[in-house]
Copies of this chain bind each other. A is one copy, B any other.
Amino acid sequence: MAKFISIRNIRFMIKEVFDVKSLTIHDYYGNHNEKMFDMVIDEALKLAVKLMYPVLEEMDRNQPVLEGGEVKVHKSVKKIMKEFGQGGWIASGFSEEHGGDQIPIIIRGIASFIFAASNYSASAYPLLTTGAADLITSFGSQELIDTYVGKMLDGEWQGTMALTEPQAGSSLSDITTSAVPDKNGRFKIKGVKIFISAGDHDGVENIIHLMLAKIENAPPGAKGISLFVVPKKRFDDLDGKGKGKLVSNDITTTSVYHKLGYRGTPAVEISMGEKDNCYGWLVGKENQGLILMFQMMNEARISVGLASCAIASAAYLAALEYTENRPQGRPVTNKDSQIKQIPIIEHADVKRMLLFQKSIVEGSLSLILQCCMYADLIKVTTGAKKEKYELLLDLLTPVAKAFPSEYGILSTSTAIQCFGGYGYCDDFPVELYFRDIRIHAIHEGTTGIQGMDLLGRKIVIKDGKAGLFFLEEVKQTIKIAMKVPELEFFAGQLESSMKQLEKVVGFLFNIAGKKGIDTYLSDASLFLEFYGLIVISWQWLIQGIAAEKALSKDSSKKDKNFYQGKLFTMNYFFRYELPKIYGLASRLMDGDNLTINMKTEYFKD
């Protein structure tokens, strides 16, 4: 069995970096302890090894098909949903009141990481169900909860997010799916939704869409969007809530997409109300749909970042194993063809490629777990503290979504490169990882959207309060690192980069005033990369502190290697990746309006 995650690294993260057990002093997490966390992680790994990794390639090569009006998926999907339901994995993060285990978000995150690393497509089914059920639980009526959530958490029904429409990709304010109230308190739904992951399949009994639609006469644009539960099959009584038998809810699957990767999960187009017989039930208040959906969306964005780390982790560990075992070439200093070839991992350039991957995988995972910790702290704090964690989570969400997904493309591409020609062939799964990961810079808001979110909203809300909290967090890390002689250099580098950040933001604020918001936002994607490199450096310094601390104690030979690996990888990130911010800063402070002045007709010939 190939290794797709490092369990040693996970233990390092939860024990030495984030001290997750500290959460258990709070009432909400009081029933847990570190041993239980370990057990959860062990069980997740067992499940991934037993159920998910073995069908990784099979699910990729046998794509879902639309047959007789229904999407057929790999037979293991039914088993996975069932085991995830019965094992409590879909519900694990839910409160005890709603049938869950109140497991900290960070531990759930690690379980998701393990599942996604073993088989991203397979992991999407239960994950989407959790998200949808969470939304109903948070904002739905008791009747909706009673009708849907139990079956979803048991893995019998699939949950989805149904947002996108053909004419409204990234522009949700332009959706046209309509909802007309009837006298029974339900709504008649009509419209077309596209790119719905797991939007139809035969691995479950029913599909529950959490869907955005516009109630007739609602205000135009985003302010007129409402959230509905629209099931594939509804109960045949008038109010459709949990009584009678299941009947068709007039939703037709009109096509299943053929995708570059992420092939084990169908993305479908559905048409609702062709026979004027599709019903939906409002979740929360009218016209609040986008706000409610964003709870799920923000979690989904973190999940996308996490899945990117996970796929990149599997690709990196595959490349590591290959390079350790593949003899090829000789040391630069001794090219004598009579001596034995060396494993390619001994070539400096191969080590560089591995360090790049390791730095992206473990640096990004660290950021995601940091976000999970903030989310956990939001749950157990109040007042100013809670606000601080909320703002930090808001600020870092676009980075946690975009950085792993963009650098993940490069990381999996580098994994292919480590394999040479074999990496281009399906003898090894790295080409699959390269295909799978490419979705993540697109779905749940493209990288361009994340850049606008960071620079256009998160940096400026509440007079930049989020940014100040971030600065505080980084300063705290720098202060600790400065006391460790081995880390002084890196702390200094991070400090300089924060000054660079300040300079860039100052420049951009100034230009926003002078040249307008369009100029301010024109390089938002670059700003996002710039910001991301600094954020990941911060996370590497945090890991460096933990590694130095461990090395200063007695540790076994094997452990010493692990910590040395951490320090070298931190070193790599600071010396090879962080310097990219200087080129980006020079661009961000150019202020020449190039992309605004470039006219569409100049592209013509």
Binding site for B on A (CB under 8 A): 6-9, 164, 167-171, 173-174, 194-195, 220-222, 257-262, 267, 320, 324, 327-333, 336-338, 341, 343, 345-352, 354-355, 358, 409, 413, 416-417, 420-421, 423-427, 431, 434-435, 438-439, 441-443, 446-448, 451-452, 516-518, 521-526, 558, 561-562, 564-565, 568, 571-572, 575-576, 579-584, 586-587, 590, 592, 594-605
Given known A349-B448, A595-B352, contact A260–B341 (CB-CB < 8 A): no
Cross-chain pairs A/B with CB under 8 angstroms, 22 sampled: A9-B605, A164-B421, A221-B336, A259-B426, A260-B431, A260-B434, A324-B600, A331-B518, A332-B521, A347-B448, A348-B595, A349-B522, A351-B595, A355-B594, A417-B441, A421-B443, A526-B576, A561-B605, A562-B602, A562-B605, A579-B587, A582-B586
Q: Which of B413, B431, B581, B594 contacts A568 (CB 8 A)?
A: B594
Taking a contact as CB atoms under 8 Å apart, the answer to whether A169 and B421 are in contact is yes
Q: Which of B194, B220, B434, B576 contacts A438 (CB 8 A)?
A: B434
**A562 — which chain B residues lie within 8 A by C-beta?**
602, 604-605
**A451 — which chain B residues lie within 8 A by C-beta?**
349
Nearest chain B CB to A330 CB, angstrom units: 8
Taking a contact as CB atoms under 8 Å apart, the answer to whether A358 and B603 are in contact is yes
Given known A169-B420, A424-B259, contact A595–B518 (CB-CB < 8 A): no
Residue in chain B with minimal CB distance to A578? B583
C-alpha gap A267/B320 in the complex (Å): 25
Taking a contact as CB atoms under 8 Å apart, the answer to whether A221 and B352 are in contact is no
C-alpha gap A231/B72 in the complex (Å): 47
**A441 — which chain B residues lie within 8 A by C-beta?**
417
Q: Which of B258, B435, B596, B603 contacts A345 (CB 8 A)?
A: B603
**A583 — which chain B residues lie within 8 A by C-beta?**
579-583
Taking a contact as CB atoms under 8 Å apart, the answer to whether A413 and B438 are in contact is yes
C-alpha gap A597/B567 in the complex (Å): 12
**A446 — which chain B residues lie within 8 A by C-beta?**
417, 420
Taking a contact as CB atoms under 8 Å apart, the answer to whether A352 and B416 are in contact is no
**A336 — which chain B residues lie within 8 A by C-beta?**
221
C-alpha gap A330/B419 in the complex (Å): 44
Nearest chain B CB to A335 CB, angstrom units: 8
Given known A518-B331, A603-B565, contact A442–B421 (CB-CB < 8 A): yes
Taking a contact as CB atoms under 8 Å apart, the answer to whether B333 and A517 are in contact is yes
Residue in chain B with minimal CB distance to A432? B260
**A328 — which chain B residues lie within 8 A by C-beta?**
168-171
Nearest chain B CB to A511 CB, angstrom units: 13
The residue among A331, A423, A451, A595 with the most chain B CB atoms within 10 A of its own CB is: A595
Taking a contact as CB atoms under 8 Å apart, the answer to whether A600 and B345 are in contact is yes
Q: Which of B169, B524, B579 contacts A586 (CB 8 A)?
A: B579
C-alpha gap A262/B425 in the complex (Å): 11
7 interchain residue pairs of minimum CB distance: A221-B337, A8-B605, A565-B602, A348-B522, A579-B583, A260-B431, A348-B595
Count identical subunits in the complex.
2
Taking a contact as CB atoms under 8 Å apart, the answer to whether A170 and B424 are in contact is no
The residue among A447, A564, A598 with the most chain B CB atoms within 10 A of its own CB is: A598
Residue in chain B with minimal CB distance to A561? B601
Taking a contact as CB atoms under 8 Å apart, the answer to whether B417 and A409 are in contact is no
**A358 — which chain B residues lie within 8 A by C-beta?**
603
Residue in chain B with minimal CB distance to A423? B442
Residue in chain B with minimal CB distance to A347? B448
Taking a contact as CB atoms under 8 Å apart, the answer to whether A416 and B438 are in contact is yes
Taking a contact as CB atoms under 8 Å apart, the answer to whether B259 and A337 are in contact is no
C-alpha gap A331/B446 in the complex (Å): 17
C-alpha gap A261/B260 in the complex (Å): 11
**A332 — which chain B residues lie within 8 A by C-beta?**
517-518, 521
C-alpha gap A227/B343 in the complex (Å): 28
Taking a contact as CB atoms under 8 Å apart, the answer to whether B447 and A417 are in contact is yes
Taking a contact as CB atoms under 8 Å apart, the answer to whether A352 and B516 are in contact is no
C-alpha gap A518/B525 in the complex (Å): 37
Nearest chain B CB to A194 CB, angstrom units: 8
Residue in chain B with minimal CB distance to A333? B518
Q: Which of B220, B448, B524, B599 contacts A564 (CB 8 A)?
A: B599
**A558 — which chain B residues lie within 8 A by C-beta?**
604
**A575 — which chain B residues lie within 8 A by C-beta?**
587, 590, 592, 594
Nearest chain B CB to A602 CB, angstrom units: 4
Nearest chain B CB to A211 CB, angstrom units: 17
Taking a contact as CB atoms under 8 Å apart, the answer to whether A337 and B164 are in contact is no
Nearest chain B CB to A107 CB, angstrom units: 20
C-alpha gap A439/B262 in the complex (Å): 21
C-alpha gap A354/B330 in the complex (Å): 42
Nearest chain B CB to A164 CB, angstrom units: 7
C-alpha gap A353/B259 in the complex (Å): 22
C-alpha gap A506/B336 in the complex (Å): 29
Q: Which of B324, B337, B522 contacts A173 (CB 8 A)?
A: B337
Q: Which of B195, B348, B516, B571 contacts A421 (CB 8 A)?
A: B195
Nearest chain B CB to A186 CB, angstrom units: 27
Taking a contact as CB atoms under 8 Å apart, the answer to whether B174 and A524 are in contact is no
The residue among A174, A332, A354, A427 with the most chain B CB atoms within 10 A of its own CB is: A332
C-alpha gap A195/B355 in the complex (Å): 28
Nearest chain B CB to A84 CB, angstrom units: 26
Taking a contact as CB atoms under 8 Å apart, the answer to whether B442 and A417 are in contact is yes
Residue in chain B with minimal CB distance to A557? B601
Given known A587-B579, A594-B575, contact A605–B522 (CB-CB < 8 A): no
Nearest chain B CB to A56 CB, angstrom units: 15
